[in-house]
Structure 1
Amino acid sequence: MNPKVDDFINNATKWQPEIKQLRQLLLDCGLTEEFKWRMPCYCFQGNNVVLIGNFKEYCTLSFFKGILLQDSNSLLSKPGENSQSMRFFKFTNLEEIIEQQSIIKAYIYEAIEIEKAGLKVIFKSNTELELVEELQIALDKNPQLKTAFEALTPGRQRAYNLHFSEAKQSKTRETRIEKYTQRILNGKGINDCICGLSKKMPNCDGSHKYSTAENE
């Protein structure tokens, strides 16, 4: 059990019993507990499988490759109209989680089998830019980030995508995406100046480094 998840639950103002129950289900299924994107994340052999989320009106259990699940019970929802991969359960009380426990576990085990088989989501894009998988998942999960990223110029989009894709490990790619999320939300490119000191706006020319040295 990850202590950061303990803190997440203890600091949650709503849905504590529901999150605890979902957590136990996921751990019972043999997933590894981590903490990513400020949420409990459950992985299989290093691959992201499920996220627990808490919102004002409900809590969620989100499957990264939910589109690949059979969902024969039609219980999963889409985070947004254009979401290509992630699908989620929505819960509003503890009782429905307990009542659907066997069904929820079946979905989790199916998601694990998808990882064992090495199945990938084939993303459709209206542009020629093929986004790295971790970035596409982050955009599907966060509509605000998706809107901000799509508002960037094609060159800025390519620069971010290249920087993220250069990392060899998925965990490193996720860390890079998380690091630059706020910059993207602010409408800035990866090489844009954010201190206002550059003489080559909007590009960064390293002026902030010289300013820091002068003040030391």
Structure 2
Amino acid sequence: MTNNNMHPKVEAFLLRAKKWQEEFYKLREIVIDCELTEDFKWMHPCYTLDNKNIVLIHGFKEYCALLFHKGALLKDPKGILIQQTENVQSARQIRFTNIQEIIEMESVLKDYIKEAIEVEKAGLQVELKKTSDYEVPEELQLKLDENPTLKTAFEALTPGRQRAYIYYFSQPKQSKTRTSRVEKYIDQILDGKGLND
């Protein structure tokens, strides 16, 4: 591996890693072997092609992972790509719990990375769901219909914020709980704030 490919912040990140250090180094070696440029974004090693993000290496408590930014577009013949949560539209992870798994999967990982590079070169985009594709829960719709100011405020929110609310309000099985969630956030919506602001 040539040194000009190595980003100093990534090196520092890897040296500081208390967990998954060995796994991170191996993943890095595999990714760099696929001729991507190493960068450091969102506090993690990120690998790019012409400044477009291809994969990211990150660690969690239970696993470390290779995150494909446009993983939803990969064919996934091995069925190993994981969607982190149902809100994640584009990215997919391949998870590992030990170095052995990474070593055994090296050639598969390279195939996936190469496909991800081809997807990027072809300029493919993930078709993101629009807010209108989400079903607005009845309890929210009722409040919006009753309160024109609230409706205007909700419609003025960014699509991402609208989706986060719709998703959050839709989760409870009971209508009563859905209603109380909506009521709890009315002021926040009127203030033009998102769910987590």
Name the counterpart of 2:99: 94
Contact 2:157 2:194 in 1 (8 A): no
**Is 2:40 the counterpart of 1:35?**
yes
Amino acid in structure 2 at the alignment position of 1:75: I
48, 51, 59: which is aligned to 2:56? 51
Amino acid in structure 2 at the alignment position of 1:62: L
75, 80, 83: which is aligned to 2:88? 83
- Residues of 2 paired with 1:47 and 1:10: CA distance? 26
Pair 58,113 (structure 1): closer, same or farther in 2 beyond 3 Å: same
Amino acid in structure 1 at the alignment position of 2:15: N
28, 31, 56: which is aligned to 1:26? 31
SS of 1:53 mapped into structure 2: strand
Name the counterpart of 2:140: none
- Residues of 2 paired with 1:186 and 1:85: CA distance? 21
Amino acid in structure 1 at the alignment position of 2:61: K
SS of 1:88 mapped into structure 2: strand
**Is 2:18 the counterpart of 1:13?**
yes
Name the counterpart of 2:75: 70
Name the counterpart of 2:188: none
Task: Give the TM-score of the pair, scaled to structure 1.
Answer: 0.61
Shift of 1:68: 0.5
SS of 1:9 mapped into structure 2: helix
Runs of 4+ in 1 over 3 A off after TM superposition: 183-186
Amino acid in structure 1 at the alignment position of 2:156: G
Amino acid in structure 1 at the alignment position of 2:37: T
Shift of 1:27: 0.5
Correspondences of 1:155-166 after superposition (within 5 Å)? 155-157=156-158
Contact 2:36 2:49 in 1 (8 A): yes
Shift of 1:79: 1.1
Report Cα offsets for 1:10-59 as digits up to 9, x if no partner: 11110000000000111000000001111111001110000100111110
- Residues of 2 paired with 1:34 and 1:126: CA distance? 32
Task: Give the TM-score of the pair, scaled to structure 2.
Answer: 0.67
SS of 1:17 mapped into structure 2: helix
Name the counterpart of 2:128: 123
Number of aligned pairs?
142
- Residues of 1 paired with 2:194 and 2:130: CA distance? 19
- Residues of 2 paired with 1:3 and 1:70: CA distance? 33
111, 114, 117: which is aligned to 1:109? 114
Pair 185,22 (structure 1): closer, same or farther in 2 beyond 3 Å: farther
Amino acid in structure 2 at the alignment position of 1:155: A
Pair 16,124 (structure 1): closer, same or farther in 2 beyond 3 Å: same
SS of 1:84 mapped into structure 2: coil
Pair 185,113 (structure 1): closer, same or farther in 2 beyond 3 Å: same
Shift of 1:82: 2.5
Amino acid in structure 2 at the alignment position of 1:28: D
Root-mean-square deviation over aligned CA pairs:
2.2
